[in-house]
Amino acid sequence: MGKLSGKVGLITGAASGMGKASAELWASEGAKMAIVDVQDEKGEEVVNGIKSRGGEAMFVHTDVTKVAEIEKMINTTVEKYGRLDFFWHNAGNAGPGLVERTSEEEYDFTLSLHIKAGFFGAKFAIEEMKKIGGGAILFTSSLAGLKASRSSTVYSICKSSLVMMTKCLALHYGQYNIRTNCICPGAVNTPLWPSFMGRDSDKNDAKAVEDAYIAKTPLHRFGQPEDIAKASLFLVSDEASYVNGAILTVDGGISCS
């Protein structure tokens, strides 16, 4: 028996990076998984990998900036697997850089991707979780959601909103046995990481930024997608049955400085 046997999980942004590693880990613990992303080929690869190891998964193509698609993704999951126990809004981008270089389109898109998708994903997930007597919601914030940044104001606005969304949902939906928690990763070695460069014109050298980050991190290494996956497994599993409204940094301790 896996830790998530009999459960159904949905992760947005699960074709890549920390979402992919987490979907694979949850599936290995017995959860049936909805792999949500806009990258069809990579999403199908994740599904095939899970199935080849004896797990169960399906790919649900969804652009999470569109509320109608979010509703459909939840319905598709429940139609196929009969229930929804875990919803994790993890999809994201690095967002635009300095304020004076940010267009209205970039601003609207980034807020939709991070905040609106999390809000409406939770809305439709909560309806399903109430029907089965509970569930767990997760959001991916960032250290940028906890600490001000010089070069990524829009991203920081989004990620701090997810921290507050976590607390608001935890406060109200705990009574329905729906726990809401949030992970704040530090720098993690995923395909997204290089796109955090260049938002601030004097910080384009990825290697230099990476070396400086590792030097400042108490554990002296970069985060790996698997580090986030293990934290997410804990937060949705029964081992975290009294954890609600937690903002969990998974960052090697860099936020302590």
Ligand X SMILES: NC(=O)c1ccc[n+]([C@@H]2O[C@H](COP(=O)([O-])OP(=O)(O)OC[C@H]3O[C@@H](n4cnc5c(N)ncnc54)[C@H](O)[C@@H]3O)[C@@H](O)[C@H]2O)c1
Note the residues at the interface with ligand X (CB under 6 A).
Answer: 12-13, 15-19, 37-39, 62-65, 90-93, 113, 140, 142, 185, 187-188, 190-193
- 155 is known as an active-site residue: yes
Q: How far is the CB of 142 from ligand X (least distance, A)?
A: 4
Q: How far is the CB of 52 from ligand X (least distance, A)?
A: 20
Could you tell me which residues are beta bridge partners of residue 223?
188
Single out the catalytic residue among 81, 107, 155, 176: 155
Q: Among residues 47, 53, 13, which one has the least CA distance to residue 33?
A: 47
Residue (107 or 193) nearer to ligand X, CB: 193
For the beta sheet containing 178-185, the strands, ordered from the edge strand earlier in sequence to the opposite edge, are 56-61, 32-37, 8-12, 86-89, 135-140, 178-185, 247-250
Q: What minimum distance in Å lies between the beta carbon of 111 and ligand X?
A: 12
The residue (of 11 and 78) whose beta carbon lies closer to ligand X is: 11
In the complex with ligand X, the residue whose CB is nearer, 65 or 180, is 65
Q: How far is the CB of 228 from ligand X (least distance, A)?
A: 8
In angstroms, give the least distance from the CB of 148 to ligand X.
15
Q: Which residues are catalytic?
A: 155
